[in-house]
Amino acid sequence: MAGRQRRVLAATLALAACGGGDGQGPTDEGGPPVVGCSDGATGGALTRVCFPADWNGDLILYAHGYVQPDAPLAIPDNVIGGTPVEDLVNATGYAYATTSYRANGLVADMAVGDLVELEEMVRRTVRPDPARVYIVGFSEGGLVAALAVERQPDRYTGVLAACGPIGDFDRQIDYFNDVRVVFDYFFPGVIPGSPGEPPDEARIGWTSTYEPAVMAALADDPDAALELANVTGIPTVAGDPAILAETVAEILWYNVFGTLDARARLGGQPYDNESKTYQGSSDDLALNAGVARFAADPAARSALGRFETDGQPSAPISIIHTTGDPIVRLFHQPLYEEEVAAAGLSALLDRSDVERFGHCAFTSGEILAAFSALPR
């Protein structure tokens, strides 16, 4: 996965080129929009803006998912259910705008500001101004969307947060790291270095050496692989060992590639399993005695609050998740729903659960249905 956006979107968000257009777009003088897509930059981030021939006057901002921290900045060219996102948006009459964000990695908090910069750029360069502005975000972008509607009051008409870690970000970080330490317990020595500080060797050799080694180890001991899934809560597909091996490797990628970036951004080590009791193995006593333990740096753990939602959206929000998401698990949906209810804002929330395995594994029809819950 080095140098490209996470394949967590691979089931339905694969790479695609910008659809249509002649490369022109909004002008600096604030003129009428030109049909098609134009690429640019603002606030240190790359941008893409696409207008349909029959623009309805509204704008959708697209918030993309997690990107490998050391990858070059790039426009997120994604598809949903086989259709490029910009084409899907434009086909419904909406203008489309997206940003690379100013950096990759764990940047959901900063990305909220990048969406503001993106919207203001469109407003500076197009006349008339967009009448209504929506955000659609997937994975980390789902979190960006939820944070934006909470932290930028009265700016957005509505938000669609899909498959995002919006309910408990601390728990999301712990999940990724739990999978790593429990994997190391069952399959010691397959991945070099410490879960808390993965070495360059692991990142450089991930695709060629260590990812294949992880999948081979899991295939060679399917019973231990299932115990790993039981202990950590990884969804499975009828115990299919090949899918489980690919899924575990996918989750471990986040530890190998994201840990040092997270430590740098948070000012320390945020993961804590010092007092955690693991359950679900054939010998929980041995597991709890043998699994590696980590104590979080208090400041780093506290800094995770920058990525926590408060359940107080300032506009309607539609959330959608697959029930068998192995990367950002379904627990986020009810937790966010509870937050919103506690704030007395349940009328602003529409929740959809799709019975399916996979991360962000939606059809275009399911996304359009979730978006249709937002006001027009």
Mark whether 192 and 297 lie in a shared domain: yes
Of residues 176 and 4, more confidence is placed in: 176
Q: Which domain holds residue 220?
A: 169-304
What whole-number distance in Å separates Cα of residue 9 and Cα of residue 82? 12
Q: At residue 48, does pLDDT exceed 60?
A: yes
Q: Supply φ then ψ for residue 143, to 5 degrees.
A: -65, -40
**Mean of pLDDT values over 46-70:** 97
30 shares a domain with 111: yes
The CATH number given to whatever domain includes residue 343 is: 3.40.50.1820
What's the rounded Cα separation, in Å, for the pair 206 and 250? 11
Q: Are 21 and 32 in contact (CB under 8 A)?
A: no
How far apart, in whole angstroms, are the C-alpha atoms of residue 85 and residue 16?
Answer: 9
Cβ-in-10-Å burial (0-12, 13-18, 19+) of 312 comes to: middle
Q: Which of 290, 354, 292, 286 is nearest to 320 (CA)?
A: 354
Residue 12 reports pLDDT greater than 50: no
| Position 2 in a domain | no
In a domain, 1, yes or no: no
pLDDT above 90 coverage of the chain, percent = 87
Beta-strand (E) ranges in the chain?
A: 36-42, 45-51, 59-63, 79-80, 83-84, 95-99, 133-138, 158-162, 317-324, 349-357
The pLDDT of residue 27: 47
Rounded Cα gap, residues 59 and 157, in angstroms: 10
Structure confidence at residue 131 (pLDDT): 96
- Residue at a domain's end among 251, 280, 304: 304
- 162 plus 96 within the same structural domain: yes
Percent of the chain topping pLDDT 70: 92
| 83 shares its domain with 146 | yes
> Residue 29 has what pLDDT?
59
Same domain, 118 and 266: no
**Position 14 in a domain:** yes
Q: Pairing state of beta strands 45-51 and 95-99?
A: antiparallel
298 and 217 in a common domain? yes
231, 293: one domain: yes
Q: Tell whether 324 and 214 lie within a shared domain.
A: no
Q: What pLDDT, on a 0 to 100 scale, did the predictor assign at position 43?
A: 92
Residue 262 within any structural domain of the chain: yes
Span 333-342, mean pLDDT?
A: 98
pTM: 0.91
pLDDT at 376: 85
Q: Is residue 376 part of a domain?
A: no
Mean local confidence (pLDDT), 3-25? 34
pLDDT over 50 (residue 25):
no
With 60 as the cut, is the pLDDT of residue 1 above it?
Answer: no
Least confident of 48-52, 57-61, 236-240, 308-312: 236-240
| Same-domain status, 182 and 56 | no
- Write the pLDDT tens digit of every residue in 144-169: 999 999 999 999 999 999 999 999 99
Count of structural domains, the chain: 2
**Does 15 have pLDDT greater than 50?**
no
Residue 48 domain-assigned (yes or no): yes
- Residues 338-351, mean pLDDT to the nearest whole number: 98
Residue 218 lies in a domain: yes
| Domain termination residue (choose one: 274, 304, 334) | 304
User: Tell me, what's the pLDDT at 81?
Assistant: 74
Q: Is residue 35 in some structural domain?
A: yes
pLDDT digits (tens, 9 = 90+) for 84-139: 899 999 999 999 999 999 999 999 999 999 999 999 999 999 989 999 999 999 99
pLDDT at 293 over 80: yes
- pLDDT value of residue 76: 82
Read off the pLDDT of each residue in 262-288 and give the average, rounded to a whole number: 97
Rounded to a whole number of angstroms, the distance between the first and last alpha carbons of the chain is 39
Mean pLDDT for the chain overall = 92
Q: Are residues 189 and 297 in the same domain?
A: yes
243-264 per-position pLDDT tens digit:
999 999 999 999 999 999 999 9
Q: Are residues 29 and 173 in the same domain?
A: no
Query: Which of 284, 304, 324 is the last residue in one of the domains?
Result: 304
Mean pLDDT over residues 7-36, rounded?
A: 49
279 and 194 together in one domain: yes
pLDDT of residue 347: 98
Tens digits of residue pLDDT in 59-86 = 999 999 999 999 999 998 777 777 889 9
